[in-house]
A and B are shown apart, each in its own frame.
Chain A
């Protein structure tokens, strides 16, 4: 049974990683921003969904929706209150702006984390799953929620692909990631594209956060590890490459699951990090990086 168990569990966690990392890499690809408040936004979404259901007694669907909306608002807040002022500032030299954005989003993430700990304690919260119960798949007792998580992740990623490749807005986003200057020459407003991208990012991070809250649970302590895992997946896949991130998410997800089952749950994250170091040595641009 064990190989099937690893196959099923690994798929769910990988799909979740993929969803979390996609938005993160999209923003970097389009606007060159590494958003280190990523983990905080995911946790905020999950905690908001928990609070809506447990404190305000909403049903699970409305709770989940509240979580996604909170993430969307926070993504916009991150862009308008932290990233944009730094990018527009005349006092910060252009070559230092990336560092300022990194520091700014990192501090912003810590602020969100501390606020969550202050108002909701630093204990883990779990969002009530939308579907409960278990089913047997290939002899493995699998929570329906795990299947639901995997399906939603794949669906959302699929929708994102359609959006980017099949719609006008999506094509503008894609174009902006390839050549920002060219896009402005075509008469498109770059700022508007950024707003769209941050909006997409907020929804993706929100869904990922709420699903993570249902699947494993989150606490304010999860902020750092979540940002770190998205960061390493994105670096492994190649910064800015969405398909690279998807592949990397599955590599990391399965590597972690294999380690947890075959070696020990205590060493879960180590092989993936070693792989990251190794890839940095032989292929610094990541698996599908463009540089």
Chain B
């Protein structure tokens, strides 16, 4: 008798399951099917990633408060991926197959996004990343458009990031501070490979000679030997490409009083919590951002940053701004497409022309090398340079949004220039 009982209970479960499904199906059209579901897969426990689900929820709440999209509410379903590609793929499958999301917003880590891209193709689900940078994301869309057209790159490519850094460095470092030499210091990851190529190419053009180039493992905990090697090369500035690390090199830079300023990409520094995490060692650190606190990149930037802070207690990381915009332009695309059908949505997303918190968002087309990546340039998105000053993130470039001059802690020699 005992042997048959599991089978019987299995049959019973099946029956109950089918019955329940029937109930859901009949109840469906009135409520659940109406919502536009956006799956948000992000590094909820990391400084840069934590803002992604928070910002997406904020955007959804705002849209819903104004009546939703043609009466349809936006529902955010979020998943913590623990910064792992494997967890992200499982979350993506679950989001599409079980939770029936219409679109996915995912991750600030390029390795994760590159792992999800084929799944967006297989499961035919539009997918936008708010923070990964690798050139390969949009190059893959260009290489096999029909297959990979579901992926959109809602953040600047590494190539564009390098350009943005060089544009800022020309004005701030070369013209203002008369700097001549630089060392590139970047973590070994997918997104920094094209970034470093970009740096190597554009830094000499603006008049900064690259005297050394250090790539280090993202597992590094002791940065003393790295700073020591950099100091040995006697550069005027350290050009950074860091995202997985941030707190440790910054704190050690301060504790060891390395007399050279850091300037470049430092993803963790974009979140306001970075000040507390480093015990204010961030003072003087220069980092690239797409938007920032109190910076009116567009009329939407400042209200968003303030509302975010009111709700969550800190200003968002860079990926918070992009994720917030993404929910809006996805909603806009659904409205224009008149449907959440994947192919129609992709076609509508391609025609995006949305003024968000980071500038004017448009995507490169099928024939551009970086298909489906957001366009970089004046009047679109140019990026900013911000600096940690007196515990606050202050914009210093470009001129029209700059709130302050460069200021360095006393151990930095450049301040006397």
Whether chains A and B associate is yes
A9 and B256 CA atoms in complex are apart in Å by: 11
Quick one: given A123-B247, A124-B247, A217-B221, are A265 and B216 in contact (CB under 8 Å)? yes
Query: Are the CB atoms of B45 and A217 closer together than 8 Å?
Result: no
Q: Which one of B46, B217, B246, B247 contacts A265 once the chains associate, using CB atoms below 8 Å? A: B217
Tell me if B83 is interfacial: C-beta within 8 Å of chain A: yes
A218 and B247 CA atoms in complex are apart in Å by: 10
A122-158 CB contacts (< 8 Å) to partner B: 122-129, 132-134, 141, 143, 145
Query: Are the CB atoms of B225 and A265 closer together than 8 Å?
Result: yes
Tell me if B255 is interfacial: C-beta within 8 Å of chain A: yes
A40 and B220 CA atoms in complex are apart in Å by: 18
B82, B188, B217, B268 — most chain A CB neighbours (10 Å): B217
Q: Which one of A9, A126, A218 contacts B279 once the chains associate, using CB atoms below 8 Å? A: A126
Interface bracket on A: 35 or more
Query: Are the CB atoms of B255 and A143 closer together than 8 Å?
Result: yes
Contact with A along B206-235 (1 / 0, CB 8 A): 000000000111011111111011000000
Report A277 CB to chain B, min CB distance, Å.
Answer: 20
A145 and B255 CA atoms in complex are apart in Å by: 8
Quick one: given A126-B278, A216-B222, A260-B222, are A121 and B46 in contact (CB under 8 Å)? yes
Query: Are the CB atoms of A121 and B217 closer together than 8 Å?
Result: no
Tell me if A281 is interfacial: C-beta within 8 Å of chain B: no
Contact with A along B5-32 (1 / 0, CB 8 A): 0000000000000000000000000000
How many inter-chain residue pairs (CB < 8 Å) link A and B? 89
Report B103 CB to chain A, min CB distance, Å.
Answer: 26
A21 and B45 CA atoms in complex are apart in Å by: 29
**With a CB–CB cut-off of 8 A, which chain B residues contact A53?**
279
Quick one: given A141-B256, A217-B221, A260-B222, are A126 and B45 in contact (CB under 8 Å)? no
**With a CB–CB cut-off of 8 A, which chain A residues contact B188?**
266
A92 and B220 CA atoms in complex are apart in Å by: 41
Tell me if B277 is interfacial: C-beta within 8 Å of chain A: yes
Q: Which one of B215, B225, B251 contacts A217 once the chains associate, using CB atoms below 8 Å? A: B251
A124 and B45 CA atoms in complex are apart in Å by: 11
Tell me if A261 is interfacial: C-beta within 8 Å of chain B: yes
**With a CB–CB cut-off of 8 A, which chain A residues contact B216?**
265-266
Quick one: given A124-B277, A126-B278, are A141 and B247 in contact (CB under 8 Å)? no
A122 and B219 CA atoms in complex are apart in Å by: 13
A121 and B246 CA atoms in complex are apart in Å by: 14
**With a CB–CB cut-off of 8 A, which chain B residues contact A216?**
221-222, 248, 252
Report A215 CB to chain B, min CB distance, Å.
Answer: 8
A219 and B268 CA atoms in complex are apart in Å by: 14
Taking A124-B245, A126-B277 as known contacts, 19 extra A-B pairs with beta carbons closer than 8 A to each other, sorted by chain A number, are A54-B277, A122-B45, A122-B83, A123-B277, A124-B246, A124-B247, A124-B248, A132-B255, A134-B256, A134-B257, A216-B221, A216-B248, A217-B247, A260-B225, A265-B216, A265-B220, A265-B222, A265-B225, A266-B188
12 contacts between A and B (CB under 8 A): A117-B45, A121-B46, A122-B82, A123-B247, A125-B247, A126-B278, A143-B255, A145-B255, A217-B251, A261-B228, A265-B216, A265-B223
B residues whose Cβ falls under 8 Å from a Cβ of A? 45-47, 50, 82-83, 188, 215-217, 219-226, 228-229, 245-248, 251-252, 255-257, 268, 276-279, 281
